[in-house]
Amino acid sequence: MNVTEANSVVLRKLLIFTVIMFGFGFALVPFYEKICEVTGLNNLLQADTLTENTQVDTARWVTVELDANTHGLPWQFKPLQSSVRVHPGELTQVVYEVRNNSDREINGQAIPSYSPQLLGKYLKKLECFCFSKQVLKPREVRQMPVQFLIEPGLPDDINTVTISYTFFELGNDNTVSLDISASQL
């Protein structure tokens, strides 16, 4: 085998390797999602299930503040009560109301956010409008429940927590059109 042939063999191997690594970059996406699923790190769109009967800690009160935001879509979005007091372990239902102020049908997706961050670990949601996209007809008003409980394991020094939802607009092809021009940034 002369040098030119040997060189093209190496070239071919390395090119194949490059293509594989390019594919590997994309393969990291399902891999990442799988890891998140297995470790339970990022299940925003799935309802939690209660495995055992949780004991209600009636001696303790936690104030849950409810917050609502919209991001770039003409909806009015608010909780019906701004906060609730709950016992850890107690199943609670709160209701959010959303109103489409525009004359077109809009798909929206709510993304939750918790404060303190730690709450994510102890908050179990059995039902939430954030598990699926919401389609609102022009001028439609909708009331949507969130059913949750806070596990009694929540550290003792936390007495007030905040659950916040932000609605993003989904395009017809499920894309978010974040209408922010660079000049606004």
Q: How far is the CB of 113 from other proteins (least distance, A)?
A: 10
- Contact in structure between 144 and 129 (CB atoms under 8 Å): yes
Name, in order, each residue with C-beta under 8 angstroms of 104's C-beta and a sequence gap of 6 or more. Answer: 138
Footprint on residues 119-158 left by other proteins (CB under 8 A) = none
Footprint on residues 26-85 left by other proteins (CB under 8 A) = 26, 28-29, 32-33, 36, 39, 41-42, 44-45, 71
Closer CB to other proteins, 57 or 67, in the complex:
67
Maximum CA pair distance of the chain?
84
Q: How far is the CB of 52 from other proteins (least distance, A)?
A: 23
Footprint on residues 87-116 left by other proteins (CB under 8 A) = 109, 111
- Taking the C-alpha atoms of residue 164 and residue 110, their distance in angstroms, rounded to an integer, is 10
Nearest CA-CA partner of 158 in 112, 124, 123, 125: 123
- Contact in structure between 171 and 73 (CB atoms under 8 Å): no
Closer CB to other proteins, 31 or 61, in the complex:
31
- Contact in structure between 75 and 137 (CB atoms under 8 Å): no
Positions in the binding site for other proteins (CB under 8 A)? 1-3, 6-7, 10-11, 14-15, 17-19, 21-26, 28-29, 32-33, 36, 39, 41-42, 44-45, 71, 109, 111, 117, 168-171, 173-176, 178, 180-183, 185
